[in-house]
Structure formats: C-alpha cells, structure tokens
C-alpha cells in the first residue's frame, strides 16, 4: 500500500482557509428554461457540499458552469481563484458515468496518469516516470483498485471503471473536486470506499467537494451543506435546515413530507418527479461483474 499522504504535497501548496469556489448572482438557462436563478454560493476549503434535486433541475449544469464548459447567463464564477476552465486550476472531476467501449485497451493506470499529466481541467505536472508511477499507484490503492492498474478499461465492470475515475480525479491533488453521481454502479462497499476517500481528502488535504447525487444517505454524515435545486429555485443550508417538511414543500410547491428513520432521510411527495427520486437506501446500483455494465 502506498501512502498518498507522502506523495501529494509536490502538486500544490496547502489551501488557505478562504473561499475556493465562488458564485455570485449566477443565473443559467438551458432550452428556454431557467435552471438556476440568482445563485450565491461560497464553498470553503475542506467543505463537503451535496448538490441535490430532481432530474433536470440543473445539478450537472451547475458543474458544467464550474468546469468552464457552460457560461452563465449572468453573474460571476471563480474556481480556485480563477475563471472556470483555467488550466492552472487544481480541479478534480468525476463525470457522469458512461461505459467505456469494450474494445478500448487503455489501462487503469493510463487513465489515472492523465490526471497527473494534465487535462483541460488540471494544471499538469512535469512528469518524472518513477514519481508519477508512485502517485498513480497511491491513488488506485486509496480506492481499493490496485489490481486494476494493468486491466484494460473495456474489460472492467461499471463499478471498477468508477473507482478508476475517482482515482484519476484525486491524482492531481485537487483543491476542488466536482463529482457527478460518483456512486453509480457501485455496491455498498464501493460506495463506502469512495465516500471515505472523499472525506479523507477534504479533512486531511483541505479539498472542497461538490457532490451531485440522488442518494444523500450514503454521504449524509459528511455533508456540511446542501444546495437543493428545483425548477429554478434553490435552497442552501445544512441537512437539518433543508430537509424539513416546510422547506421541501415550499421548493416543490406541493405537499412533501420529510421522514427520518434510523438516521436515514426519506422524502415522500405526491409529484411524479419527486416520487421517482431514490431516497431510500434500499435503492442501490450494483457493481456488476460484466464488462461495461453501468
């Protein structure tokens, strides 16, 4: 096992205590719909923010704005003190899962290495072969995926691919991580591993985490704040502040009941888009053993 705590300091200095993500009066429209309206949000180093809402509410759109892939209609955005998309940004990104082509021969370590060499979201790092291999192995080990280093991506299950994607995102020692449904295709053990890795990064490295998910319960213990998006409206606060019957009913403009059962949050409503949300921990995507499953 390689200790990642010993191999990450050469990428960047320790983040300061200030804001690493800043959105001021941000409005974003897509397809004639206003998904995000007048959003003010500051995320501090080491903060874990869950981004929630029904399908089509703008969760992925918000990440695209922070990545620099989509310009807001109005407002200002800074990530790591820079404009979104700036190559100097120390940003880790776990995209929405899309299975790799079964014929792809790129190995697990090759994909993780791209997080070190630099992508459009990362600053890159002058490569020294031995040190690079050490960092790649450390990232894979942290995800319990050391055995996937030399396995072709096309032969990995959906859950294995997801672990490698998360390893790639942490390999550049990011000060901000943007995670779009990172728990998909993972069994309960895999979900716990990914959640633990992200919690370790934010606590020991000061990495801010913005975590888009449909399933809040697996990460609820580590969530500092929630950004809940519905039909252009939003509410920001702690889980205790957002998950109340009054707040959720107001957001959905419909009667909603919030239940807490054995430490789990269950939201029950009579609207179709709310009822389709998999709030119960009984809903899991399994780490299928078939290549490319997701």
Question: Tens of pLDDT along 164-219?
Answer: 999 999 998 899 999 999 998 889 899 999 999 999 999 999 999 999 998 888 89
Instruction: Specify the pLDDT at position 151.
Output: 96
The three-state secondary structure class of 43 is strand
Instruction: Specify the pLDDT at position 122.
Output: 52
pLDDT band at 128 (very low <50, low <70, confident <90, very high): low
Taking the mean position of all CA atoms in its chain, how far away is CA 161? 15
Instruction: Specify the pLDDT at position 290.
Output: 39
Q: Domain 4-275 adopts which CATH fold?
A: Rossmann fold (3.40.50)
Q: What is the mean pLDDT of residues 131-160?
A: 93
Question: Tens of pLDDT along 92-108?
Answer: 999 988 878 888 889 99
CA distances from 34 to 30, 37, 39, 158, 181 (A): 6, 7, 12, 33, 22
pLDDT band at 291 (very low <50, low <70, confident <90, very high): very low
- Mean residue pLDDT across the chain: 83
The three-state secondary structure class of 28 is strand
| Rounded-to-integer distance, Cα 269 and Cα 102, Å | 40
The three-state secondary structure class of 30 is strand
Do the beta carbons of residue 176 and residue 205 sit within 8 Å?
no
Instruction: Specify the pLDDT at position 86.
Output: 83
Q: Break the chain into its structural domains and give their ranges.
A: 4-275
Q: What b/e readout covers 58-70, taking b as 16+ CB neighbours within 10 angstroms?
A: bbbbbbbbbbbeb
Angle, alpha carbons 32-35-281 (nearest 5°): 135
């Amino acid at each position: 096992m390689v200790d990642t705590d010993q191999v990450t300091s050469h990428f960047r200095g320790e983040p300061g205590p200030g804001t690493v993500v800043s959105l001021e009066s941000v409005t974003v429209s897509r397809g004639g719909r206003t998904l995000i309206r007048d959003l003010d949000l500051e995320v501090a180093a080491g903060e874990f923010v869950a981004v929630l809402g029904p399908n089509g509410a703008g969760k992925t759109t918000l990440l695209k704005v922070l990545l620099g892939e989509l310009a807001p209609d109005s407002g200002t955005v800074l990530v790591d003190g820079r404009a979104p998309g700036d190559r100097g940004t120390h940003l880790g990104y776990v995209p929405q899962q899309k299975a790799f082509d079964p014929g792809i021969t790129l190995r697990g370590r090759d994909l993780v290495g791209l997080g070190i060499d630099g992508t459009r979201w990362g600053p890159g790092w002058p490569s020294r072969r031995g040190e690079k291999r050490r960092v790649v192995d450390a990232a894979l080990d942290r995800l319990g995926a050391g055995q996937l280093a030399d396995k072709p991506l096309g032969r990995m299950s959906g859950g294995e691919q997801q672990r490698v994607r998360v390893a790639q995102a942490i390999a550049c020692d990011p000060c901000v991580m943007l995670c779009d449904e990172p728990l998909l295709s993972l069994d309960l053990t895999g979900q716990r591993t990914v959640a633990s890795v992200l919690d370790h990064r934010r606590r020991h490295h000061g990495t801010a985490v913005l975590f888009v998910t449909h399933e809040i319960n697996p990460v609820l213990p580590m969530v500092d704040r929630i950004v809940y998006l519905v039909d252009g409206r939003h509410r920001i606060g702690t889980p205790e502040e957002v998950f109340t019957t009054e707040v959720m009913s107001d957001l959905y403009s419909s009667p909603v009941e919030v239940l807490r059962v054995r430490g789990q949050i269950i939201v029950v409503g009579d609207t179709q888009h709310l009822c389709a949300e998999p709030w119960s921990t009984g809903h899991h995507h399994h780490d299928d053993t078939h290549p490319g499953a997701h």
